[in-house]
């Protein structure tokens, strides 16, 4: 029958097509093999073993996680050996073998065990009232997590509704500014509103960022205290079912908190430059509808939609932002001139708050609150290698996060190549003297020290001096 489309069954069962099917299968197998070989080049146990043997910065990590309380110096006043010895480490080994409740007497024990086990991932847990390695000998009701850093986790995949460049675990230079905005907002709130000083910012190696708050006061927070702090910071409550992703409740409070105002001033430039100009979220009717759907006032929604449709083809994004602000400001001024008293005065505040809510819905940090809430929650250690990308979990200087490039971070393979090249250049047979200082890790460790570790050390030294003076009979 000329011109008749063959049914699927005819194509499937036709003998002459078997050869093509075999060819396709072989091609798929070849591609899968190539991808597996490429993944093995980026990440393998052999490369990881070299990394743990020669490059991993054990000493710096030990200084942090012991808070300069080396158990080897337990005879000195002011040294709390529990901080290190009661810390939980968790390992993910090859073939997804999961090992929890590891703890160590000393730096050397920890270092030797990592080199022996060669974990694909190291997670850091809480400090318990007993050494975690003894957990099986202690009843569960007596084994309690007493302290842990307050941690925050932000994943770029949670921003898929407001980015057009990547999806899921993908990240690029176009959407990285969303992470930068999260860093700057969080860093400002934690330092300004809570007085914290020891904040470590880490790139997860793939799609997110972690913040480790290491001040004494927050390390001892229980679940309720952590939840209160999270509730203070968290604004984004959106999901696919929510029309309004952020609710400042301005009608109830009759005002906007100073912390929210400060966060808004940080967020606006990122909304203009990243959301409008780079992601071009308002350059389509669908994007405009998504944005305007967050307006709480029908008249403003109508005016805003008309203004944005007029600007839909414009690449003058500064002017587009001016049009958005103008619509809201005119409505706020009109509400302020009304004679209906407090009700419309509150509406004026609510109108301005609504614009803030919309900006926050695009760029305000979206926290994984369960990671932060629980004291015994595990989080991946800095300087780990991400098995999917081979990238180092690098340290971020929050003051220079806009300059940080997630795509150009060192990989396991690149570090081993640098290590081997350094060995050739030295050419003196003393490979044991070659370490992270001869690779790209040098700058990452430097950032770790200058933005975080050095201040911890100064604080510990100051406390030891004060303790010594008190023991010597008062201030000298």
The phi, psi pair for 169, rounded to 5°, reads: -80, -5
Q: Which of 321, 345, 235 is nearest to 272 (CA)?
A: 321
| End-to-end CA gap in the chain | 106
Q: Which of 131, 155, 158, 418 is catalytic?
A: 155
Residues facing 379 on adjacent strands: 124
Q: What does the alpha-carbon distance between residue 31 and residue 44 come to, in Å, rounded to a whole number?
A: 19
Decide if 155 is catalytic.
yes
The phi, psi pair for 38, rounded to 5°, reads: -65, -40
Cβ contacts of 104-111, under 8 Å, gap ≥ 24: 104/133, 105/71, 106/71, 106/72, 107/58, 107/59, 107/62, 107/66, 107/70, 107/72, 110/58, 110/62, 111/58
Residues in the chain: 476
Residues 248-262, buried b or exposed e (16+ Cβ, 10 A)? bebeeeeebeebbee
Q: Which of 88, 303, 418, 438 is catalytic?
A: 88
Instruction: Confirm if 332 and 312 have CB atoms less than 8 A apart.
Output: no
Q: What does the alpha-carbon distance between residue 289 and residue 459 come to, in Å, rounded to a whole number?
A: 52
Q: Which of 123, 131, 149, 153 is catalytic?
A: 153
What DSSP string describes 142-180? Answer: T--EEE--EEEEEEGGGGGGG-SS--TT---TTTHHHHH
Decide if 88 is catalytic.
yes
Q: What does the alpha-carbon distance between residue 89 and residue 438 come to, in Å, rounded to a whole number?
A: 28
Decide if 123 is catalytic.
no
Catalytic residue list:
88, 153, 155
């Amino acid at each position: 029958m000329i011109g008749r489309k063959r049914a699927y069954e005819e194509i499937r069962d036709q003998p002459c097509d078997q050869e093509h099917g075999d060819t396709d299968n072989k091609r798929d197998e070849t591609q899968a093999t190539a991808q597996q070989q490429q993944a093995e080049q980026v990440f393998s146990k052999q490369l990881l073993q070299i990394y743990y043997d020669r490059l991993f910065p054990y000493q710096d990590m030990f200084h942090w996680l012991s808070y300069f309380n080396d158990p080897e110096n337990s005879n000195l006043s002011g040294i709390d050996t529990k901080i290190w010895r009661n810390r939980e480490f968790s390992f993910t080994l090859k073939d997804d073998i999961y090992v929890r409740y590891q703890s160590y007497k000393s730096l050397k024990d920890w270092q030797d065990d990592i080199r022996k086990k060669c974990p694909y991932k190291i997670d850091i847990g809480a400090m318990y009232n007993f050494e975690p390695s003894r957990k099986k000998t202690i009843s569960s009701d007596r084994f309690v997590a007493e302290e842990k850093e307050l941690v925050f986790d932000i994943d770029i995949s949670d921003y898929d509704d407001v980015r057009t460049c990547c999806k899921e675990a993908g990240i690029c230079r176009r959407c990285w500014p969303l992470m930068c905005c999260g860093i700057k907002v969080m860093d400002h709130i934690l330092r300004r509103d809570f007085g914290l000083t020891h904040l470590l910012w880490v790139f997860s190696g793939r799609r997110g960022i972690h913040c480790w708050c290491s001040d004494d006061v927050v390390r001892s927070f229980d679940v309720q205290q952590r939840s209160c702090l999270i509730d203070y910071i968290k604004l984004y409550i959106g999901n696919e079912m929510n029309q309004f992703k952020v609710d400042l409740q301005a009608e109830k409070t009759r005002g906007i908190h100073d912390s929210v105002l400060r966060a808004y001033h940080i967020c606006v430039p990122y909304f203009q430059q990243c959301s409008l100009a780079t992601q071009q979220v308002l350059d389509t009717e669908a994007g405009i509808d998504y944005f305007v759907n967050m307006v709480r006032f029908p008249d403003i929604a109508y005016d805003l939609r008309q203004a944005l449709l007029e600007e839909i083809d414009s690449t003058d994004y500064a002017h587009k932002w001016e049009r958005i602000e103008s619509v809201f400001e005119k409505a706020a001024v009109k509400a302020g001139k009304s004679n209906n008293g407090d009700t419309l005065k509150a509406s004026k505040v609510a109108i301005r708050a609504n614009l803030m809510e919309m900006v926050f819905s695009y760029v305000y940090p979206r926290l994984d609150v369960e990671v932060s809430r629980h004291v015994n929650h595990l989080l991946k250690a800095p300087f780990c290698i991400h098995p999917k990308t081979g990238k180092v979990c690098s340290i971020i200087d929050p003051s220079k996060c806009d300059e940080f490039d997630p795509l150009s971070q060192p990989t396991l393979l690149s570090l081993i190549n640098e290590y081997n090249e350094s060995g050739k250049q030295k050419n003196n047979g003393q490979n044991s003297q070659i370490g992270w200082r001869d690779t790209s890790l040098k700058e990452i460790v430097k950032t770790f020290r200058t933005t975080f570790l050095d201040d911890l050390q100064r604080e510990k030294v100051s406390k030891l001096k004060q303790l010594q003076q008190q023991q010597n009979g008062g201030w000298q």
